[in-house]
Amino acid sequence: MQTKPVVSLVVPFYNEGAAVDVFFETIGATLATIDTITFEIVCIDDGSGDDTLVRLLTMSRSDPRIKVLELSRNFGKEAALTAGLDAATGDAVIPMDADLQDPPGLIVHMIEKWRLGADVVLARRTDRHTDSMAKRGTANLFYKLHNRVSHVEIPSNVGDFRLMNRASVDALKRLPERQRFMKGMFAWIGFRTEVVEYERPARATGSSKFTGWKLWNFALEGFTSFSSAPLRIWSYIGSFGTLLTLAYLVFIVIRTLIYGIDVPGYASLLVSVLFFGSLQLLSIGILGEYIGRIYMESKQRPVYVVRQVYGDSHEP
User: Under 8 Å CB-to-CB from 194, ≥6 apart: which residues?
Assistant: 113, 118, 120, 121, 122
Q: 188 and 99: one domain?
A: yes
Q: Can you give the CATH number for the domain in which 154 is found?
A: 3.90.550.10
Q: How far apart are CA 13 and CA 46, in angstroms?
A: 6
Would you give the distance in Å from CA 97 to the centre of its chain? 13
| pLDDT at residue 165 in the model | 92
| pLDDT at residue 67 in the model | 92
| pLDDT at residue 18 in the model | 84
Q: 171 and 261: one domain?
A: no
> What is the total residue count of the chain?
316
Whether 1 is covered by a domain: the verdict is no
Q: Where are the alpha helices (DSSP H) in 45-203?
A: 52-62, 77-87, 106-115, 133-149, 166-173, 182-189
Q: How far is CA 74 from CA 12, 96, 161, 190, in A?
A: 11, 18, 21, 30
| pLDDT at residue 8 in the model | 92
Q: 112 and 239: one domain?
A: no
Whether 83 is covered by a domain: the verdict is yes
Q: 186 and 239: one domain?
A: no
Q: How far is CA 281 from CA 213, 229, 233, 287, in A?
A: 21, 18, 15, 10
Full domain range(s) for residue 112: 6-208+301-310
Q: 102 and 176: one domain?
A: yes
Q: 166 and 135: one domain?
A: yes
Whether 241 is covered by a domain: the verdict is yes
Q: For residues 102 and 26, is the Cβ–Cβ distance under 8 A?
A: no
Q: 187 and 154: one domain?
A: yes
Q: 61 and 156: one domain?
A: yes
State the total domains in the chain: 2
293-302, pLDDT tens digit by residue?
777 777 778 8
Q: 167 and 78: one domain?
A: yes
Q: For residues 98 and 81, is the Cβ–Cβ distance under 8 A?
A: no
Q: 29 and 91: one domain?
A: yes
Q: 243 and 110: one domain?
A: no
Nearest CA-CA partner of 96 in 56, 123, 75, 61: 123
DSSP state, residue 121? E
Phi first, then psi, for residue 92 (nearest 5°) are -140, 155
31-60, pLDDT tens digit by residue?
888 888 889 999 999 888 888 898 999 888
Q: What beta strand segments (E) does the chain contain?
A: 6-13, 38-45, 66-71, 92-95, 120-127, 158-165, 193-199, 306-310
Segments of the chain scoring below 70 in pLDDT = 1-2, 127-150, 201-232, 234-236, 238-239, 241-242, 245-246, 248-249, 252-253, 255-257, 259-275, 278, 312-316
